[in-house]
Amino acid sequence: MTRVRLRTAAVSLTCMALAACSSTSSGGASGGPGGGPHAITVYAASSLKDVFTLLGKNFSAANPGTTVTFSFGASSTLGQQLTQGAPADVFASASNSTMQAAVTAGAVSSFSVFATNVLEVATPPDNPGHVQALSDLARAGVTVAVCQPAVPCGAAATQLFAKAGLMVHPVSQEADVKAVLTKVTLGEVDAGVVYVTDVLAAGAKVHGVPVPASSNVSTSYPIGVVTGSKEQATAAAFVAYVLSPAGSAALAAAGFGPA
């Protein structure tokens, strides 16, 4: 199914479930399911933490009585938990392959890609390793942290080094991208390979070193309703909100690229 058809299906599902799609002055979220309080749990990639926390607050404000709880972590770990029956209502991954595995396992029926991201090198503000370019990560004595290979940001880092023709020997492989960023902000490594959105969100806590477009690696973010969700209408409404102009605007402001 094409991305356009998937987006259409997601929005159509929401309209059918809610009987109407309407905008609100609280950020343009689709109308809530009504009929009393509703609560959903969203499993989402760590790199989505800041923007999804904001989207969750806006969605709840636009739909009084609706609560959104998040569980952030490595996409691969969250996907495994879902396929093993962990209770959740929405899954947002930083990897199409991880989402496809969830679909194959029957944990998610369909999905839509809502954003993209690329990599950037982060260093402590004082840049003790004097990292000025991507190639410096291969220099002797420069300590580098990346995500574990099974995690989307780790797989992307591996592809990045291969495309750039670099032999980088990380001193640390972390569980998710936020853990890599923490290593950098604490000054425990000279550099970490993270997403551009992480550098933007960290502000003055890190120094960003851009990655050349010719070497950079893009990752896609798919989202879908969990098959076993007991809050299908609310979950579909949240997915539709993420895909809406208001959701896209928040994602763009956080540094994410378009789907």
The domain that holds 122 is classified in CATH as 3.40.190.10
Q: Are residues 77 and 121 in the same domain?
A: no
* Strands 112-123 vs 207-210: parallel, antiparallel or unpaired: antiparallel
Predicted TM-score of the model (pTM): 0.84
Tokens representing 95 are: 């990897």
Q: Cα Rg for the chain, rounded, in angstroms? A: 19
In three-state secondary structure terms, 248 is helix
Contact 73, 255 (CB under 8 A): no
Helices and strands per DSSP (H, E), number in the chain: 9, 9
Identify which of 104, 118, 109 has the alpha carbon closest to the alpha carbon of residue 91. Answer: 109
Q: Are residues 149 and 204 in the same domain?
A: yes
Question: What would the pLDDT profile of 164-201 be if each residue is shown by its tens digit?
Answer: 999 999 999 999 999 999 999 999 999 999 999 999 99
Question: What would the pLDDT profile of 58-80 be if each residue is shown by its tens digit?
Answer: 999 999 999 999 999 999 999 99
Tracing tokens 């990045």 back to the chain, one arrives at 160
Kindly state whether residue 103 falls inside one of the protein's structural domains: yes
Q: How many structural domains does the chain have?
A: 2
Kindly state whether residue 127 falls inside one of the protein's structural domains: yes
Q: Are residues 101 and 137 in the same domain?
A: no
Alpha carbon distance 101, 44 (integer Å): 15
Question: What would the pLDDT profile of 115-159 be if each residue is shown by its tens digit?
Answer: 999 999 999 999 999 999 999 999 999 999 999 999 999 999 999
Q: Are residues 50 and 141 in the same domain?
A: no
pLDDT confidence of residue 36: 65
pLDDT confidence of residue 37: 87
Question: What would the pLDDT profile of 195-219 be if each residue is shown by its tens digit?
Answer: 999 999 999 999 999 999 999 999 9
Kindly state whether residue 259 falls inside one of the protein's structural domains: no
pLDDT confidence of residue 251: 98
Q: Are residues 100 and 187 in the same domain?
A: no
Kindly state whether residue 258 falls inside one of the protein's structural domains: no
Q: Are residues 75 and 161 in the same domain?
A: no
In three-state secondary structure terms, 91 is strand
Range of the domain at 79: 3-116+220-253
Q: Which H or E run includes 246?
A: helix 245-253
Q: Are residues 205 and 229 in the same domain?
A: no
In three-state secondary structure terms, 49 is helix
